[in-house]
Amino acid sequence: MVWVAAKEARIVGPITASIPQGSGLAVAVDSAMLRDALAQFGLEKLPVTAGPLPAIPYERTIMWDVAAKARVELFAAGLSFLSRWSMAVPLWSYDELARDIGSEADRLRTEAVVHDLRAPVYDTRLMFVRRNAEAEAVMQAWGAERDGGDVRLAFLRAVYKVRPLILALPTTWLK
**Amino acid 138: pLDDT:** 97
Model confidence, pTM: 0.87
**Does residue 69 contact residue 92 with C-beta atoms inside 8 Å?**
no
Q: How far apart are CA 30 and CA 27, in angstroms?
A: 7
**Amino acid 158: pLDDT:** 98
Q: pLDDT (tens digit, 9 = 90+) per residue, 23-62? A: 999 998 888 888 888 888 888 889 999 988 778 999 999 9
Lowest mean pLDDT among 8-12, 39-43, 89-93: 8-12
User: What secondary structure, in 3-state letters, does 8-74 show?
Assistant: CCCCCCCCCCCCCCCEEEEECCCCHHHHHHHHHCCCCCCCEEECCCCCCCCCEEEEECCCCCECHHH
Residue 32 CA: distances (Å) to CA of 8, 36, 44: 46, 6, 11
Task: Give domain limits for the chain.
Answer: 66-173
Q: What is the mean pLDDT of residues 113-129?
A: 97
